[in-house]
């Protein structure tokens, strides 16, 4: 079974306090779902119009586990903290 990857690209962060609170709630929810953080940083370099903003890559045992985690009550509670505080994209992809 191929691994699943949850990739988040932040376009902007307007409220650092909300980000800190989100991290306190989201981290345990993601770990409970079996997620392992591979990258959680500001992009080193952006190409082809890519922004040099925060990027997060999380590995899961499968795409199904990644989806179950993002749709979990625990993660949804963490996500509410970010309302109006960030602009981002989240993609879940299957590994090769």
Residue 63 pLDDT: 98
**53-75, pLDDT tens digit by residue?**
999 999 999 999 999 999 999 99
Q: Please, what are the domains in the chain?
A: 4-94 (3.30.70.100)
Is residue 78 within 8 A of residue 69, CB to CB? The reply is no
* Residue 57, phi-psi category: left (phi > 0), alpha (psi -120 to 50), beta (remainder): beta
Determine the Cα–Cα distance for residues 46 and 38; give it in Å rounded to an integer. 18
pLDDT by residue (tens digit) across 6-27?
A: 999 999 999 999 999 999 999 9
| pLDDT score at 50 | 83
| End-to-end CA gap in the chain | 10
Residue 51: which pLDDT band, with cuts at 50, 70 and 90? confident
Phi first, then psi: what are they for 50, rounded to 5°? -70, 140
Q: Sheet harboring 54-60: ordered strands across?
A: 36-42, 54-60, 4-13, 86-94
Q: How confident is the model at residue 49 (pLDDT cuts 50, 70, 90)?
A: confident
């Amino acid at each position: 079974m191929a691994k699943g990857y949850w990739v988040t690209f932040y376009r902007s962060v307007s409220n650092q306090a909300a980000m800190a609170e989100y991290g306190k709630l989201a981290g345990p929810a993601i770990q409970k779902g079996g997620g392992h953080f591979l990258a959680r940083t500001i992009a080193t370099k952006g190409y082809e119009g890519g922004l040099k903003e925060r990027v997060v890559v999380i590995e899961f045992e499968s795409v199904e586990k990644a989806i179950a985690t993002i749709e979990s009550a625990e993660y949804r509670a963490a996500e509410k903290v970010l309302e109006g505080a960030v602009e981002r994209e989240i993609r879940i992809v299957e590994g090769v």
